[in-house]
Structure 1
Amino acid sequence: MHRRHFLSAALGGAIAALAIEAKAAELKEIRIGFQKAGVLFAFKQRRTLEIAFEPQNIAIKWIEFPFGPPILEALATGSVDFGFTGDAPPIFSQAAGADLLYVAALPRNSIEGIVVRADSAIRAIADLKGKAIAIPKGSSAHNMTIAALETVGLSFNDIKPVYLAPADGFAAFSRGSVDAWTIWDPYFALAQKAGARVVALNTEVEQPSQFFLAAKSFAQAHPQTLTKLIDVFARELAWARAHRPELAQAIHDATGIDQEAILKAVQRADLDVVPLNEQIVANQQAAADRFFRAGLIPKQIAVRDIIWTWTPSS
């Protein structure tokens, strides 16, 4: 009896494994969501992923987005398989019930800050009370703003958020339509170059990370492909750490953003990818709890419920 059960279970497992392998064998394309002003664009230009997956006849399709939240929407709807964003977008996506997975992290990779114009009377975080702040909605800047306010006993309800994508935020900030702007590099570096004064840095009020994310269905059907994908990105980031001027040049060529500002952003980024450890998960959970307290997500979530373990290749 036990033997029959064992053989039945073994046969079932073998059939399931064959089904997964057959589905994986059907993979013809990996769709990657990226932001034009980020490091992934430089990797796109280098065609490293295309070369790595060419022997498997798997094409790489790059899909551009203005910032992180639309990438998560695309993951949720099945329009992309893999993406790269800051800390807040996956929190909103998980709270909305989307099937996604954190697959790797880039700790301290992006510097961002709250900036004001040089002639502003705002000198400290507490001075932001009642002020209009441009923020890309559902982004890491959203999280950073709440974290900064909490350090001085203020809540998100104490400011007037003006939700704008990065390019629109820069325009509104430049013409004085808002009192402050929370934004990440390279736009942050661009604002600094234009004379903006920094009220707070994200590293002063939180412990930020950026993340590689995958659709859950993609990770389940193609785990080896996903591992290889992150391994290739890890090698690209190693290249980037050793070739920061070249990385800055590639991003500048793609975006037209001031080269000096791009280089400043690239020079202060860590550019290191790691599996999610306990500290990174705890930091991300703190961000999720922050959004829940602010009433910006409908329920509490457990970040560790959607972690996919990546083991780097030796």
Structure 2
Amino acid sequence: MIKRAFSGGLRSLAVSALAGLLVLASATAQAQEPLKEIRIAVPDLSATTTHSGGGVVDVLRDQQILEKAFAADGIKVEWVFFKGAGPAVNEALANGQVDLAYLGDLAAIIGKANGLDTRLLSATIRDIRLYLGVTPGTQVKTLADLKGKKVAIFRGTAYQLSFAAALASQGLKERDLQVINLDFSAATAALAAKQIDATWAGSNLISLQQRGLAELPLNTDDLGGVGSVQAMLVGAGAFVDEHPQVVARLLKAQQQAVSWLRDEANKEAYVSLVAGLSGYPRRQLQSDLENTRVERMFDPHLDADYLARLQAGVDLASEQRLIRKGFKVADWVEPRFLDEALRPEPVAQAGR
């Protein structure tokens, strides 16, 4: 009896061990399965049915740079645009629906602060200028003049953090105003229809000004750069860990678009590209970029100045209770892929 039980026990252990090996083999095979697609999330800034993310995104897509970089490997590049901007992108990251995201600072900060395992891979745009747009005749000339006024802000986006920084620089807070939450398009329409007194937004407000539907009494340049927006590329932690070579190649390919953008000679071509994709008037985009050095604006480096601005954003978001807990940007940044992408190619020496 004992012998049979002992024999049965051995068989049971053997079966369990075999099952464990099969599960391990299956998991290993799954882990080694070739990557089939790279899913990239982008807030959709377009005013039409075509998609636009501005900056490096529009150049990458227009020139098919990433698609060409991975075509030989059979890896598809899928661009996923979200009208819901940063909050919708964060939800997609949380649900494992995308692998990488081009984001403005607040959305990326909120995601990280709320526990999303993301890695900061590259700067994409720095010091984006935002504007205060007001209805004509409201006599609003300064931020202090907004006290008690109805102001639209797209919450959860970089615009909210920018506006908080601008207000704080003048000793003001959101509670001093009547702040309502409207997305980019709704806020623009509401301002044009005089349903609100003001909004804080990007270059789309220039178009309203040029049509006589808004006044732009100030922008972040007038505040010494306070409230300017930083944008970036972040990667889902699991994707970065599982496919480091793919991430490295993607950052290297991205540099083609970055180099093109930073060339002053391509400024007009860039304006034409974004105007065509976004539906915004060409002269609006020209006006916004008129006094901008594109070499600096599209600098991808994760340098001390850029990271300090992000840390200031994290600290302000925590202070304003836009996030529950702050964090150190230094612990978020993953510079190795960008460092490799920016490393000059070795110069081949001519034979003697």
**Structure 1 pair 208–21 and aligned structure 2 pair: CA distance change class (3 A):** farther
Aligned equivalents of 1:131, 1:76: Cα separation in 2: 36
Aligned length, in residue pairs: 295
- In the alignment, which of 314, 320, 341 is matched to residue 294 of structure 1? 320
Q: Is the 8 A contact 1:112 1:188 kept in 2?
A: no
Structure 2 portions without partners, runs of 5+: 1-26, 45-50, 345-352
Provide the TM-score with structure 2 as the length reference: 0.77
2:36 corresponding residue in structure 1: 28
Unmatched segments (≥5 aa) in structure 1: 1-18
Q: Does the 8 Å CA contact 2:262/2:299 hold for their aligned counterparts?
A: no
AA of the residue aligned to 2:246: T
Per the alignment, residue 249 of structure 1 pairs with 272
For residues 107 and 60 of structure 1, do their structure 2 counterparts lie closer, same or farther at Cα, with a shift above 3 Å needed?
closer
Written as runs of structure 1 = structure 2, the 5 A alignment for 1:123-162 is 123-162=141-180
| Residues 225 and 154 of structure 1, relative CA distance in 2, 3 Å threshold | same
Residue 222 in structure 1 maps to residue 243 in structure 2: yes
Separation (CA, whole Å) in 1 of partners of 2:28 and 2:319: 41
Distance change in 2, residues 1:21/1:284 (3 Å): farther
Which secondary structure state, in structure 2, belongs to the residue aligned with residue 235 of structure 1?
helix
Give, in whole Å, the separation in 2 of the partners of 1:106 and 1:42.
Answer: 12
Larger radius of gyration: 2
Alpha-carbon displacement from aligned partner over 1:31-58 (angstroms, at most 9, x marks no partner): 1112333231342132121111112221
CA distance in 2, matches of 1:51, 1:294: 44
8 Å CA contact 2:134–2:140 kept in 1: the answer is yes
Contact 1:109 1:269 in 2 (8 A): no
- Higher deviation after alignment, 262-271 or 105-114: 262-271
Alpha-carbon RMSD across the aligned residues, in angstroms, is 2.3
2:123 aligns with 105
1:199–1:272 Cα change, 3 Å: same
- Does the 8 A contact of 2:66 with 2:250 survive in 1? yes
Change beyond 3 A, Cα 1:269–1:98: farther
In structure 2, relative to structure 1, the CA distance for the partners of 1:246 and 1:20 (3 Å cut) is: farther
Counterpart in 2 of 1:51? 68
Query: Aligned residue for 1:78?
Result: 96
Maintained 8 Å contact 1:24/1:221:
no
Is the deviation greater in 124-133 or in 71-80? 71-80
Counterpart position of 2:216: 198
Q: Per the alignment, do residues 191 and 238 of structure 1 end up closer, same or farther by CA in structure 2, a change over 3 Å counting?
A: farther
* Shift in Å, 1:266: 4.9
**Alignment-mate amino acid for residue 151 of structure 2:** I
